[in-house]
Amino acid sequence: MKKRLFLTGPDRCGKSEMIQRALGEKLRHAGGFVTLRERDAEGTILGFDLIAADGSGQKARFLDMTGEKPMTHLEVFSQEGVRLLTQAENRPFAVLDELGGAELLDDSFVRALVRLIRGQTPCIGVVKGPGSVGKTVGIMGLNLRYELARRVMYDYMLKDPDTQVIQTTGLEDEETMAQIRQWVEEYVNI
């Protein structure tokens, strides 16, 4: 089993939930971050927040969708994102949920991500695949620089001998769930 395992697949198919289920209580030992989607009572998306994978700390809103146009706050990645990635280097493992969005436009975040991925910390997470990019570009108004950065990151993961990217259909995908459990058994010795 490879040291880094990333899931990709359709939006909202349960990729993050699969990882959370497999980790269970061990998630409290994770470094890294998770992305939370906040909705109002009617189900309208209000924004997206970054929070430590272990649930500690405050949420930091990086995409505010309450105004006429979505507002991206890249400083969340250059500050909180970099802090969480740097701390993850000293944790038993890291959760990176999810990669492939606007954070790739922040050079300091990308440098911290590369340092973590090239280091010794086992990582598990979710990465936006090519199919999710169109929505991201449309919602956030991202540009060609973003698409190039996303493609470089995704191609690196596919070619890296210590990284496995699994295409999944989601919660009903028992084969992927078995691979996640195997990764947890091998790399999360807590």
Q: What DSSP line would sit under 37-78, residue for residue?
A: EEE-TT--EEEEEEEETTS-S--EEEEE-SSSS-EE-THHII
Instruction: Find the angle CA(34)-CA(37)-CA(43) to the nearest 5 degrees.
Output: 160
CA torsion angle for 35, 40, 44, 46 (degrees, to 10)?
Answer: -50
Mean pLDDT lowest among 10-19, 94-103, 147-156 = 147-156
Average pLDDT over residues 124-146: 69
CA neighbor of 31 nearest in space, from 80, 92, 99: 92
Predicted confidence band of residue 146 (pLDDT cuts 50, 70, 90): confident
Average pLDDT over residues 15-21: 96
Domain boundaries, the chain: 4-187
Predicted confidence band of residue 142 (pLDDT cuts 50, 70, 90): low
For the full predicted model, state whether its pTM sits above 0.75: yes
pLDDT of residue 185: 97
Separation CA 54–CA 145 (nearest Å): 31
- As its CATH architecture, domain 4-187 has 3-Layer(aba) Sandwich (3.40)
Mean pLDDT lowest among 69-78, 80-89, 144-153 = 144-153
Predicted confidence band of residue 147 (pLDDT cuts 50, 70, 90): confident
